[in-house]
Amino acid sequence: TGVQTCALPIWLSEGLADVFSTVRIAERECYLGGELPPRVTTLSRDSWMPMEELLEATQGAVTQTGHRSAAMFYAQSWALTEMLAFSEEYGPRFRDVVTSAGSPASSAQELPKIYGKSLDRIAADLHGWITAHRSKPIRLPGVAANGVEFQTHAVRRFDLDSLLADLTMTAGKLDLAEALYGELAQAVPQDAEAWAAL
């Protein structure tokens, strides 16, 4: 009797990766969540994907899209995951969303059952979540250093996003890397490195 595992749908897998990229650990307090400026820029600039298309996307379909379409997929995946996990209205049922990943039914079928809302209503709530800037970091207890001395330095969000894009490209996820570099190039057009990477 081995342990049975199931792959998360790509929107949830990528959304969780983005959410956990916001983790900040310090001795006094830690943070999880909060806005990702490149993702918010993409969501405010371009037309959103239909919710059903987002929820039923496959890795292959995302890979075959252009970098702007891929950028929207990753931006919406982050926003939806963040809202479902952290909003007062949706958060209490987020465990059911993750658990339903093992179901043969698609997320497009499961989300309306879990929340008792149509996909159109969920999409409208998501637009409201983003336009009202409801995405706020959650404070968590700090992590004691246990006598280890270390120094911290402020790092620009752009530098962190650049590092994530570089790591993604090195890992061979070229479609995601292209989307990330595209967001960086749009956010800071004068930065030559993002354009060179593209």
- Write out pLDDT tens, residues 34-55: 888 889 999 998 899 999 999 9
How many CA within 13 A on the CB side of residue 160?
A: 13
pLDDT at 2: 43
Residues 90-129 pLDDT 10s: 999 999 999 888 777 789 999 999 999 999 999 999 999 9
Query: Is the predicted pLDDT of residue 4 greater than 60, yes or no?
Result: no
Question: 3-class DSSP state for residue 24?
Answer: strand
Q: How far is CA 47 from CA 14, 68, 105, 126, 180, in A?
A: 20, 10, 27, 14, 17
Given a cut of 70, whether residue 67 has pLDDT beyond it is: no
Query: What does the pLDDT read at residue 65?
Result: 64
Q: Structure tokens of 56?
A: 């039923």
What is 87-156 written as a DSSP string?
Answer: STTTGGGHHHHHHGGGSSS-HHHHHHHHHT--HHHHHHHHHHHHHTT---PEEEE----TT---------
pLDDT of residue 64: 66
Is it the case that residue 66 has pLDDT exceeding 70? no
Rounded Cα distance between 67 and 38, Å, is 14
Q: Tell me what pLDDT residue 42 has.
A: 92
Q: Which residue has the higher pLDDT, 189 or 42?
A: 42
Using CA atoms, how far apart are residues 51 and 138, in angstroms rounded to an integer?
26
